[in-house]
Amino acid sequence: MRYISTDHIQRVEFTRGISSAQHGNLSSGLIQVHSKYGVTPLRVRVKADLKNKLVYAGKGFKLSEKAGTLHLGADYLHSIDDIREEMDKFSRFTAQAYYNNQFKFGDYRLDLDAKLNQTISMNKMKKDELTYEYNETYKADYSKTSLLLKGNLTLNRSWLEKLELLLSSDVVFDKITRHKMVLSSSGPLNVPLAKEEGEHEGMFLPGKYYSDFYIDNIPVNLFTQLNATSRFQLSTPVSTNLFYGLEYRRSKNRGDGAVIEDETRPPYPYDNSYMRPRPNHQIPALSIGAAYLQAELLHSTGNNLFKLSLGGRLTEMFNLADDYALSGKVLAEPRVNISYTFGHSFKNTFRAGYGEENKLPTLDYLYPEKIYKDFYMLNAYSNKEEYRRLITYTNIYDVVNKDIRENRNRKIELGWDMEYQGFDISVTAFYEKTSSGFEYFKVYNPLTYDLYRTLKPGVSFNDHIPQKDDYEKEKYSIFTNSSRVMNSKKTIKKGVEYRVIFPRIEPIYTSVELNGAFYKTNYGSVLPEYY
């Protein structure tokens, strides 16, 4: 409810079984959300309970016979889980405009749709007991703008019945600005400042100070898809449908990431993301292209329908450097669905499906941040600030795994659906396996550096800044660890899902549904672990 308004939704469509090759995700069927459009009466909804306050208004207009229709809707939500936790308060405003029109050119028909959606957070300044007590400020700005353009051209030709072009894009401005007090209960903190490897001077932080910083995220997403449909009538009971098309998606964060006004006053000491922040806009974009082909064979006689669907999808990741294992690789994803429906008053459908999907690595996996490991060579703290000295040794580990590959997921389904006198029963058994899932592995590295911790006889710090010559020099060796993502996770899922809908109870206009599942999941690793 915080970011998605259900009042802008017309209907939700759910398709059972393995998803077709047009859609990349096969794990949980297909869910399509359709927004409100067309001419509708004015609808106002108000909801109030202990946690939520909501108001919505929407109406669809007919502009003219040729200008099409425009549906406008807006809502406001205020939500809080616990009135004692003021920081959890959330208020947002959403608005949606959906334009639809239809044009005819002889035998051709063109349907045009355009949707503009806006979401804005309202309670930007947040306060709670701690922010009042410490005189802190917390400001959260969130704004999301989404645009959808869709053109559907109906040609009514067997070789090309329909052509659809889909373009959607969204941009989010998400910024958190904070004036934060950092309080150490264990005394002054010692922190490194180095951004390069080797020996460097560090510093001691005061036990209490303010840190000013902001976190800036501007993710921009683009999705385009070109779909075509061809239909052929082979004989009276047999027909064939072909679905094919191209797809491209791109994601890029153009924000600055974490920006600290004074790097000697970090908001979260020892957290590398705030000690040595990396701008988000320096991370390359995630760019993926795909092509698909789906053939559907239908044999219909009376109340009997046999349906065979064969398809495949080719996927490639773009914008990768040549030394990445996935660079230039075209990944295949076959899909098969078979179903047989028979009966009229007692209707049964038996179905089976098999599919493969390549889950691609995310930006976090492809371009992880460098890991900084800091070790104290000399740590001398004095009550007199001028006599304090901190020397650190910094190691930097680049944990990028350019050999990372796709996570291939395989799934098989068997199902039975039945409809009889208002009863609707569905049972689905499935088996799903992946052996190349993404998982962080610890990598150990030996390290030896100079350590100064034992004072030489007769040395005192009352009159000078501590120097390395004041200590006995010793070699210190340790193992350091860093996390690196690998294709190592193995998961096997199997189970049965069921759903029973009982006949509607007409006097109270109510239906009862019983649903559930039994799952068994095994987790493991295909790579050896060491300690």
Q: What is the pLDDT of residues 317-346, one digit of tens each?
A: 999 999 999 999 999 999 999 999 998 889
Q: What's the pLDDT at 26?
A: 65
Q: What's the pLDDT at 361?
A: 94
pLDDT in tens, 400-421: 999 999 999 999 999 999 999 8
pLDDT range class, residue 106, cuts 50, 70, 90: confident
pLDDT range class, residue 28, cuts 50, 70, 90: low
Structure tokens at 159: 């070789």
Q: What's the pLDDT at 88?
A: 73
Burial letters 424-435, b for 16+ CB under 10 A, else e:
bbbebbbebebb
pLDDT range class, residue 242, cuts 50, 70, 90: very high
Q: Of the candidates 355, 490, 486, 487, which has an alpha carbon nearest to the alpha carbon of residue 435?
A: 490
Q: 214 and 227 in contact (C-beta within 8 Å)? A: no
Q: What's the pLDDT at 185?
A: 72
For residue 16, pLDDT beyond 80: no
C-alpha distances in Å from residue 247, one per residue of 159, 299, 311, 328, 361: 21, 30, 15, 17, 18
pLDDT range class, residue 489, cuts 50, 70, 90: very high
Distance CA 506, CA 504 (A): 6
Q: 255 and 232 in contact (C-beta within 8 Å)? A: no
DSSP string, 337-402: EEEEEE-SSEEEEEEEEEEEEEEPP-HHHHSPPPEEEEEEEEEE--SSGGG-EEEEEEEEE----T
SS3 174: strand
For residue 147, pLDDT beyond 80: yes
pLDDT range class, residue 81, cuts 50, 70, 90: confident
Residue 44: which residues within 8 A CB-CB, separation 6 or more? Answer: 55, 56, 57
Its pTM stands at: 0.86
Burial label for 390, CB within 10 Å (0-12, 13-18, 19+), is buried
Q: What's the pLDDT at 223?
A: 96
For residue 97, pLDDT beyond 90: yes
C-alpha distances in Å from residue 492, one per residue of 229, 304, 352, 413, 441: 36, 36, 19, 14, 20
Q: What's the pLDDT at 29?
A: 61
Residue range 192-219: mean pLDDT, rounded: 90
Average pLDDT, the chain: 90
Q: Of the candidates 300, 280, 433, which has an alpha carbon nearest to the alpha carbon of residue 355?
A: 433
Distance CA 259, CA 266 (A): 10
Distance CA 174, CA 217 (A): 5
Min mean pLDDT across 83-87, 121-125, 199-203, 347-351 is at: 83-87
Structure tokens at 498: 């069921």
pLDDT range class, residue 520, cuts 50, 70, 90: very high
Residue bearing the bigger pLDDT, 259 or 302: 259
pLDDT range class, residue 27, cuts 50, 70, 90: low
pLDDT range class, residue 463, cuts 50, 70, 90: confident
For residue 1, pLDDT beyond 70: no
**What are the start-end ranges of the E strands in 65-156?**
68-79, 90-105, 108-121, 125-126, 137-154
Distance CA 448, CA 456 (A): 22
For a pLDDT cut of 70, what percent of the chain falls above it?
97
Min mean pLDDT across 96-100, 210-214, 271-275 is at: 271-275
Structure tokens at 265: 């006053």
Q: 277 and 260 in contact (C-beta within 8 Å)? A: yes
Q: What's the pLDDT at 324?
A: 96
Q: 519 and 479 in contact (C-beta within 8 Å)? A: no
Min mean pLDDT across 39-43, 268-272, 523-527 is at: 268-272
pLDDT in tens, 504-518: 999 998 999 999 999
Residue range 71-88: mean pLDDT, rounded: 84
